A and B are shown apart, each in its own frame.
Chain A
Amino acid sequence: MTASDQLDATFIALADPTRRAILARLMEGEASVNELAAPFEISQPAISKHIKILERAGLVTRSASGTRRPVKIEATPMKQAVDWLEKYRKFWEVSYGRLDALLEALQTPTNTDKPSRKKDDSNA
């Protein structure tokens, strides 16, 4: 898979709340399918289907041996997607933080940027 394909698969996998919950649970450590199914009011086959999607996206792996065949999270592809979203988030957090300050300045009557400007300059 290319980096783009990987991110695409990751975003699709993360789009579902049940799959997000499964991944969150796996952050605490590996678990069997039964253990993963326990908190949900959906059937074990349905959970297995979600796990298959996560497996195909490379976000989890299942060990081949043993009866429990625990599911384990794979951090690398997830980190790639989360890192990007975090950078995207940082961009908007920083920008909007400055917008907060600007809006406050515009609403302070003593400031040179008087709120009355908004009527004079309206682009409507």
Chain B
Amino acid sequence: MPRPLTITTPGDRQIVVTRQFDAPRDLVFLCYSKPELLRRWYGMPDWTTFVCDIDFRVGGKWRIGQRSPDGYELASQGLYTAIVAPERIEQTEYYDDNWTQGGTVNVLTLAEHDGVTTATLTVTYTSPEARAAAAASPMAEGMEIGFRRLDAALAELRQN
């Protein structure tokens, strides 16, 4: 059984994704920082990664592009703004189509406890409107993924 994923929308312009992994954090960190490892796991189901360039150093550029089975391409890029191995990666992200109305600041923190690593990704949009624009964007539309029914999602909200 995969460990549960938590998504929250604290404040008015953030999205926070939290997940635990049965691995030491230096290994998890490595999977984020090496392009040959990152491209093996990051991305949408059934999409191919056609570019995964990573200059993993502060000020270094990164670019990731993916293609859907029917040819839709989605690419984003940015800069690494802070790196503290193996616990923190800060990077900016701009989508080619700019539907996030400016970039986001993505902060990943890794904390290890008893051999289990907790990864917390905090995505901060430039404004509440930008977060909402992202939600109404082609990214959301482009993902041909079955939805759970509303009541199932609300059952989860109820537990929070």
Interface residues of A (CB under 8 A from B): 3-8, 11-12, 14-15, 17, 20-21, 23-24, 27, 75, 78-104, 106-107, 115, 117-118, 121-124
Contacts and interface: CB of A to CB of B under 8 A. Distances in A.
B5 to A, nearest CB: 5
Interface residues of B, number: 55
A81 B85 CA distance: 35
Contact of B158 (A8, A20, A85, A93): A20
Nearest to A101: B41
Interface of B: 2-3, 5, 7, 9-12, 15, 17, 19, 21-23, 26-28, 30-31, 33-34, 37, 40-45, 56-57, 83, 85-86, 119, 121, 128-129, 131-133, 135-136, 140, 143, 145, 147-148, 150-151, 153-155, 157-158, 160
Given A7-B135, A7-B136, A8-B128, A92 B19 contact: yes
A14 B158 CA distance: 11
Contacts of B143: 87, 90-91
B129 A8 contact: yes
Given A103-B23, A107-B27, A88 B131 contact: no
30 contacts: A3-B136, A4-B133, A4-B136, A7-B131, A7-B136, A8-B128, A11-B131, A15-B10, A23-B154, A78-B150, A78-B154, A79-B150, A83-B140, A84-B135, A85-B9, A85-B153, A87-B140, A88-B15, A88-B17, A91-B145, A92-B5, A96-B19, A97-B2, A99-B31, A100-B22, A101-B41, A102-B37, A122-B26, A123-B57, A124-B85
